[in-house]
Structure 1
């Protein structure tokens, strides 16, 4: 990553056909990812308030999904390269819907708390496999359709879909939880991937890009690890907000945690709507360095917030900072690999995001048990600064 690299030429405007393809893929990611975002705050509240589990166990249950996703990403990328992106989308979305059914069973079955926890974990595992497949397929499909010169644009809009699902899913999930209990959350989490599946059946595939032989995992990682590590560190603040903002508000005696999550997504989406082309034009490193400084500021604001208004502003600033990290580092990662390994590069790059979620949730949960839930945002600020140093040295 060279922040002094010359500017690149802005890609030509999208054709009508390209825009239609992008919209369909964005819709698939949005409805598929609702199954990820919608249950996140309710799972924490359900486990804390009704099942009585500790912060560490809550973190484990949230994070196990990302651990599974990390372990299956490379395989998802290989399947996408060898069999086509739509193939893996159609595998992943039903698995994501299955997770909602496990949540529903956990909420409604007359079982002990430990058995309900087991069902929740089974749902998180199913969602881990499902998300690995459909996100990898959607991004590989769209890059293949629009061209590698639009990698930053594709990842920006796919990310808008993902974090819109987080921002809208969080308050929807909390509202469903308040009105119908955790069972209603499970039903909604099962239905949303099925909507995405219907869209996926209506679109054509792009030809597979890979070869029959298997590409070793270490070879792909060797090409993208630096970009991936910047993404890993930059994702820790996001993981802290989605997993522990609600509990931090409760600990401080505040209301409006769902609004704070929406503020994060508002900042995230607003910047992407006007600046999604920047990584393709200026290069990933330049964009990432500015973004990481902003993200660290937002995390410090939440950590030190004396009232919910400052915390709300900090969530918004964090969203602005995190907005372009994923596409910026995605540009850096995918340009280092040949086209026949694009699916694997995309999959393993995204795995650094998943790994950050999987590591952060239990680690921050443990720290929160010792020092309070606000610790999540101090950790996030330090992680963003560390990513900034790594990007500058790259």
Structure 2
């Protein structure tokens, strides 16, 4: 590989030329993963005949595998390069798809089918870690430290866009062709992205100063907790906003989720540079307040349009908080540990999001869904003093 290939991108035009192909690969990778999400409950419950607990088990297996593999994926991206990590993740998705195919072929024996499906979900959960962590590592090594926040924001946007597109596409395929073609698509689609990825330069930092998992957690726990408390707001929105609209007889159950997604994408594409211009701690603290205000507005809203504004504020806040604290985590860990830093950092909000939904449900009193957003707003605000502590520590 030439020296020029290893030089980070500084020019804004070249940054866009670098990041768009990477975003397209991340989008395609998560689109493949996302098409199965809305149809798996139907396949497990309606065609295999299992209960809602098993549906939750199948869904949760991917989350657990993704979380457990995150640190290894980060270390792999640092030592072998982001390109190799993405390639391995895409190959693993295809392998997971083969287990989907075998599960469908075993539909006459539900116990075998569900076992194969769980293995496939676990493999794809691990693949998810390698794709997103490899994408972050490759983007960060290609752009250099001055664009850390923008890389995290733009690559993350591709992932969210993929999940947003995956649900309707997966539903369309399932309703017209069944789960078999979801499985076939999961096997075949990664190969096109693997060809594209093989053309990317594989940038590996030659430093031998690679961090251990324990050392990394000791470096990034403050920004990690900042993202985790904000993740409670994200979890509340995706889990309870639709129920809020239903409970208050507003209709338009799609509105809060759409408002959240539109605001998130708009904020990341237009404001992503703020993190690199004024610093991750300042941006993280500022947009934590925006996110918390959005949650409290959802709690107090007496009309759907006010609730939609609250959802949009939550989206804009989360859009900037995640890359802001993420950039701070990378800064503390050092560029040579960027993959492991992002892996350790992202584990904090991932775990918080997984725990928050059932916990917030228990905190709702008297059956009033809106109470969830009061509690989540309070939890989100805890990230502000954490950010201030982090700033003083510097």
Q: Distance in 1 between matches of 2:159 and 2:376?
A: 20
Pair 1:210–1:32, CA change in 2 (3 A): farther
CA separation of 1:338 and 1:314: change in aligned 2, threshold 3 A = closer
Equivalent in 140, 143, 153 of residue 143 of structure 1: 140
Partner of 2:316: 320
* RMSD of aligned alpha carbons: 3.6
Q: Which residue of 2 aligns with 1:53?
A: 51
Larger CA Rg, structure 1 vs 2? 2
- The match for 1:3 is none
Secondary structure of the corresponding residue to residue 335 of structure 1: helix
Using CA pairs under 8 Å that are at least 6 residues apart, name the structure with larger relative contact order, 1 or 2: 1
| Structure 1: runs of 5 or more not aligned | 1-10
TM-score, with structure 1 as normaliser: 0.81
Distance in 2, matches of 1:379 and 1:44, equals: 29
Q: Distance in 1 between matches of 2:23 and 2:254?
A: 23
Residue of structure 1 aligned with 2:224, choices 222, 228, 253: 228
Instruction: State the 1:363 CA deviation.
Output: 4.8
CA distance in 1, matches of 2:353, 2:31: 17
TM-score, structure 2 normalization: 0.81
- Shift in Å, 1:237: 3.1
From 152, 174, 178, the counterpart of 1:155: 152
Aligned equivalents of 1:157 and 1:253: distance in 2?
A: 36
Are 1:199 and 2:202 an aligned pair? Answer: no
Could you give the per-residue CA deviations for residues 263-283 of structure 1, whole angstroms, max 9, x where no partner exists? 322110111121110011111
Distance 1:259 1:123 in 2: 33
- Aligned mates of 1:81, 1:66 — CA distance in 2: 23
Q: Deviations over 1:224-251 (max 9, x none)?
A: 1111111122223334444566677778
Gaps spanning 5+ residues in structure 2: where? Answer: 1-8
Counterpart CA distance in 2 for 1:100 and 1:312 is 37
From 340, 349, 373, the equivalent of 2:345 is: 349
**Count of aligned residue pairs for this structure pair:** 381
Q: CA deviation at 1:27?
A: 1.1
User: Which residue is 2:5 aligned to?
Assistant: none
Mapping of residues 80-229 of structure 1, within 5 Å: 80-103=77-100, 106=103, 109-111=106-108, 116-211=113-208, 215-229=211-225
Taking the TM superposition and a 5 Å limit, the aligned residue runs for 1:179-328 are: 179-211=176-208, 215-242=211-238, 257=253, 260-302=256-298, 311-328=307-324
Shift of 1:303: 5.3
1-structure distance, mates of 2:268, 2:367: 35
Deviation at 1:384, TM superposition (A): 1.7
Name the CA distance, whole Å, in 2 between partners of 1:84 and 1:279.
Answer: 25
Equivalent-residue separation in structure 2 for 1:322 and 1:101 (angstroms): 35
Shift of 1:365: 7.3
Give the structure 2 partner of residue 7 of structure 1.
none
CA spacing shift, 1:311–1:147, aligned 2, 3 Å: same
The offset of 1:175, in angstroms, is 3.9
- Per the alignment, do residues 62 and 353 of structure 1 end up closer, same or farther by CA in structure 2, a change over 3 Å counting? farther
2:326 to 323, 326, 330: 330
> CA shift at 1:80, angstroms?
1.7
Tell me by how many angstroms 1:150 deviates. 1.0
Deviates more, 1:272-281 or 1:340-349: 340-349
- Distance in 2 separating the partners of 1:382 and 1:70: 26
Instruction: Quote the Cα distance in structure 2 between the aligned partners of 1:130 and 1:375.
Output: 37
Q: 2:373 and 2:46 mapped to 1: Cα distance?
A: 23
Residues 38 and 165 of structure 1 are in contact (CA less than 8 Å); yes or no, is this contact kept in structure 2?
no
Q: 1:68 to 1:249 in 2, by over 3 A?
A: farther
Equivalent position SS for 1:19:
helix
- Corresponding residue to 1:14 among 12, 26, 36: 12
Q: Which moved more, 1:374-383 or 1:61-70?
A: 374-383
CA distance in 2, matches of 1:104, 1:255: 38
Distance 2:257 2:248 in 1: 16
